A = this chain, B = another copy of it.
Amino acid sequence: MTDLGGALGRVKLASTASPADAAPLRDAARLSFNQATAERASLPDVIEACARAGVPGISLWRHKLAETGVERTAKLLRDAGLWVSSVCRGGMFPALTAAERAARIDDNRRAIDDAATLGAEVLVLVCGAAPDRDIGAARSMVADGIAAIAPYAAECGVRLGIEPLHPAFAAERSCITTMREARLIAAQYDASNVGVVVDVYHVWWDPERAEEIARLGDRIAGYHVNDWLVPVKNVLMNRGMMGDGVIELRRIRGEIERAGYMGPIEVEIFNESIWERPLDELVRLTKERFVEVS
């Protein structure tokens, strides 16, 4: 294992392997490199770096797509032979005025168009925050927003993936904070239309984690890995490379696979010290840690 040193140096193998843990991954066949892990790099550069390192899949963010253009990105991906696991992000439904909520639904339709053009299976929904002392009202706006876009997504062959975010983000990014809550919204639709994206950073702490993952079953629309660093400083940027934190990654993948999900696994890491690394080194390290500890 590469010794990262410094802030990333805390690598300790789990002392508590269990029969419930997944078997080690043998290769990187299921690896999708989420572009947020290389936020400082351009989309064409990330596509090339993935191709060079033998990373087979990628996940795309819309602010990067806007820079490069969706059609040009689709061609670059075809030329490089990469598949796309998801487009990030739709969602952000709650807003104070009806006009603003309608504008956001329009924007979600454009995100669905982008995902369809790129052949992405899933549009990840970060549902939106609860800023104004009424988290219940925000949750209703999320349910309404998903209802407004689900038929169009089905028409376009794009699956919506509700991503519950860690409760630390409830006031700023997503009022949908648990897998259970996401599952109850998704359950109103066909599983092929609306699913749930499970990111270990957001759900590792959940006392009902194993049961909820089992209940999700074929609703699981994506699986994201990274790690929870200790001590926590900035909770948004506290994600680490797999193996550098405290998350029981093999245990959770065991739960995910027993639930029946064998699709792409995205590596998504928001962290300044990760972003500062040279791109090729970062992609290689991601692949190595993916196989060794995820």
Q: Which A residues lie at the B interface, using CB under 8 A? A: 14-16, 130-135, 137, 139, 166-168, 170-172, 175-178, 180-181, 204-208, 228, 230-236, 245-248, 251
Contacts and interface: CB of A to CB of B under 8 A. Distances in A.
Contact of A180 (B16, B172, B205, B207): B207
Nearest to A20: B136
Contacts of A131: 230, 246
B234 A233 contact: yes
Contacts of A205: 130, 135, 167, 170-171, 175, 177
Contacts of A178: 207
Contacts of A204: 135, 170
Nearest to A134: B16
Number of copies of this chain in the oligomer? 2
B14 A134 contact: yes
A167 B204 CA distance: 9
B207 A181 contact: yes
A248 to B, nearest CB: 4
What 5 pairs across the A-B complex have the smallest Cβ distances? A170-B205, A16-B134, A167-B205, A181-B207, A14-B133
Nearest to A15: B132
A168 B248 contact: no
A246 B132 contact: yes
A209 to B, nearest CB: 9
Given A16-B132, A171-B232, 11 more contacts: A15-B133, A132-B246, A133-B248, A166-B167, A170-B205, A172-B230, A177-B207, A180-B207, A181-B207, A233-B234, A234-B234
Given A135-B204, A247-B133, A248-B134, A235 B14 contact: no
A117 B134 CA distance: 42
A264 B285 CA distance: 53
Contact of A236 (B172, B176, B232): B232
Contacts of A175: 205
A181 B176 CA distance: 19
A163 to B, nearest CB: 15
B171 A139 contact: no
Nearest to A16: B134
Contacts of A245: 171
A57 to B, nearest CB: 26
A24 to B, nearest CB: 15
